Structure 1
Amino acid sequence: MKVLVVGAGATGGFFGARLVQAGGDVTFLVRPRRAEALRERGLRLTGLGEEEVLTPQLATAGGLSEPYDLILLSVKAAAMHSAVADLAPAVGPDTALLPVLNGMAHLDDLNARFGTARVLGGVAKVVTTLNDDGDIVRLAPLAQLAVGEQDGRLSPRVEEFAALLRTAGVDADASADIVAAMWHKWVFIATLGALTCLMRGTVADINAVPGGPALGPAILAEAASVSAAAGFPVPDAELTATKELVTRTDVPFAPSMYRDVVAGRPAEAEHILADLVSRARGLSVATPLLDLATLHLRVHQHRVSA
């Protein structure tokens, strides 16, 4: 299987590196500046155990001339449209596109451009970040990737890619209900993002003060109500696990959206929160806390973009 990984950041870089280590034919499509850094330092994974250094195959925009079997799209939502334009020459009649962005808006956009049959659903769970040198830092052992056809078929291409990931040491699942899994992760990400960004603190910070432990479950209830109204109720076990996480006092946990906000970087407010509350309006679901968090992040976005 010939794989193109679009983006070599904290998520795409990690899963792409694992595919390389499994012997896959993998090329990374990156910006010229990132390509220069990767040629100088290699693709480095650090944070847990010994540092791993790979010398990846690289391509930049305009350098693609033949189709790939699978394209793993892993970029920030704001960069998706330019990334899609860059990867378009690599899309052939039998190419499968696997986006691993959070939320659902990207799936709608890719379906409209390439057709539903070409686009897979994906849910990535990995706790990584980039350091100042552009190295991928693993913050926890979690490394999961679920992939599936939007219509629920367990197709040969899905099975093959999941098997390749498992060879690479990734907990990979060929899912028969990937769209529901994407909605459920969206609920989780939106809850944690809204909670920590609105309060400008980690989960432990928020739950250490009076009133704090009630906020996370209230935001979760709103997000889960939207998913249920859309036809994808979150299983009770997942709701319980998320509720336990957002009310813990011993975990200084915060999602990447929060880390972006406190660092003064743009956050995926429109893709993760604004789209969710927009769908809530269409489904007649009230989301006052998510509305407030969306407004808060839009102000942040305005400030950092000015």
Structure 2
Amino acid sequence: MKVAVMGAGAVGCYFGGMLARAGHPVTLIARPQHVQAIEREGLRLETKGFDERVRLAATTEPAGAKDADLVLFSVKSPGTEETGRQLMPFLRDDTLVLCLQNGVDNAERLRAVLPRHEVAAAVVYVATEMAGPGHLKHHGRGELVIEPARASERVAQALRDAGVPAEVSSNVRGALWLKLILNCAYNAISAIAQRPYGENVAGAGIWEVMHDVVDECVAVAQADGVQLPADPHLATRKLVESMPSQCSSTAQDLARRKPTEIDYLNGYVVRRGQALGIATPANRVLWALVKLIEGKH
């Protein structure tokens, strides 16, 4: 498959890099410092199993997606609509755009600006960071759960062949909500403390705060008609076992003085709670504190 990665940060570079390593032609559409480093030396993929430099194309321009069979769409949630509009002129009619984004409504928002194209949501479970220009560091996991679409099975098989566990599920909405709940429990606390998950859960009262956050999220999800695919409290407990050294993407954004996605995580739960008449005080506090820190930058 010809693959383009729109917004090639830590998530996009991991999945794009794995597909390129397996022999697929991949173009990363990324920030200039990453493009320059990748053009010089390739993308460094540092994982627990290997540390290699993978050769692939890189550009700063949306035209890098021209004629792609698959676009991995991994921009930050606030940029979904604008980036979709930039991408539209370069998509074929049969290109599959796969959303690898945090939050639960990005695919829906992207379909609104790409009405003639097939957009599928995916749930991403991976711990990664950009350790430097053109240098992707993988801390753990790496699964994808993909929404059914015309090319979903083909894409899932290509990912599996590339060493990425991938499945197609008819309940991606529930899986997205479960991922949202995990993000709401972990991301803001990691951002406020600027520490990894394993250190944070050892703090006094932190598990109790996370339990309250999860309870609120579950109440909102149930009121919204979402069928969660697993016990969210158990999933929250188990997450730290698989990625204890991970700092959240929200923490990484604050550390780099960049805008966060908190409005699409805890903030989204607060807004949906308001619309559905459900109180979400724990989520509101975490959202407000991250916004306060974000405002200092």
Change (3 A) 1:47 1:68: closer
- Of 188, 204, 209, the residue aligned with 2:182 is 188
Name the SS for the 2:9 alignment partner.
coil
Cα deviation 1:35-78 (Å, max 9, x = unaligned):
22210121111142442111212343264584322211012224
Change (3 A) 1:18 1:200: closer
Which stretch of structure 1 is more off in the superposition, 257-266 or 166-175?
Answer: 257-266
Change (3 A) 1:251 1:60: closer
Query: Is residue 127 from structure 1 mapped to residue 127 from structure 2 by the alignment?
Result: yes
Please name the residue that 2:275 is paired with.
Answer: 282
Please name the residue that 1:35 is paired with.
Answer: 35
Please name the residue that 1:165 is paired with.
Answer: 159
Cα deviation 1:112-162 (Å, max 9, x = unaligned):
11138611010111111111333001112x11111113xxxxx44110000
> Counterparts of 2:65 and 2:207 in 1: how far apart (Å)?
54
Give 2:146's aligned amino acid.
V
Please name the residue that 2:291 is paired with.
Answer: 298
Please name the residue that 1:136 is paired with.
Answer: 136
Please name the residue that 1:145 is paired with.
Answer: 144
Please name the residue that 1:268 is paired with.
Answer: 261
Which stretch of structure 1 is more off in the superposition, 231-240 or 286-295?
Answer: 231-240
Structure 2 residue runs without a partner (length 5+): none
Change (3 A) 1:33 1:212: closer
Cα deviation 1:213-263 (Å, max 9, x = unaligned):
3211111111122122111143453432314557x8x95654222233345
Using the TM superposition, give the Cα deviation of residue 192 of structure 1 relative to its aligned residue in structure 2, in angstroms: 1.0
User: Are the equivalent residues in 2 in contact too, given 1:110–1:119 (CA < 8 A)?
Assistant: yes
Name the SS for the 2:269 alignment partner.
helix
Name the SS for the 2:98 alignment partner.
strand
Please name the residue that 1:94 is paired with.
Answer: 94
User: Are the equivalent residues in 2 in contact too, given 1:70–1:95 (CA < 8 A)?
Assistant: yes
Cα deviation 1:5-27 (Å, max 9, x = unaligned):
11222111110111112222322
Name the SS for the 1:303 alignment partner.
coil
Give 1:52's aligned amino acid.
E
Give 1:241's aligned amino acid.
A
Give 1:267's aligned amino acid.
T
User: Are the equivalent residues in 1 in contact too, given 2:143–2:166 (CA < 8 A)?
Assistant: yes
User: Are the equivalent residues in 2 in contact too, given 1:61–1:87 (CA < 8 A)?
Assistant: no
Name the SS for the 1:53 alignment partner.
strand
> Counterparts of 2:155 and 2:62 in 1: how far apart (Å)?
26
Change (3 A) 1:257 1:123: same
Change (3 A) 1:239 1:111: same
Change (3 A) 1:197 1:34: closer
Using the TM superposition, give the Cα deviation of residue 199 of structure 1 relative to its aligned residue in structure 2, in angstroms: 5.4
Size of the aligned set, in residue pairs, is 296
Which stretch of structure 1 is more off in the superposition, 268-277 or 170-179?
Answer: 268-277
Give 1:186's aligned amino acid.
L
Which stretch of structure 1 is more off in the superposition, 223-232 or 193-202?
Answer: 193-202
Structure 1 residue runs without a partner (length 5+): 150-154
User: Are the equivalent residues in 1 in contact too, given 2:20–2:55 (CA < 8 A)?
Assistant: no
Name the SS for the 2:132 alignment partner.
coil
Please name the residue that 1:211 is paired with.
Answer: 205
Please name the residue that 2:219 is paired with.
Answer: 225
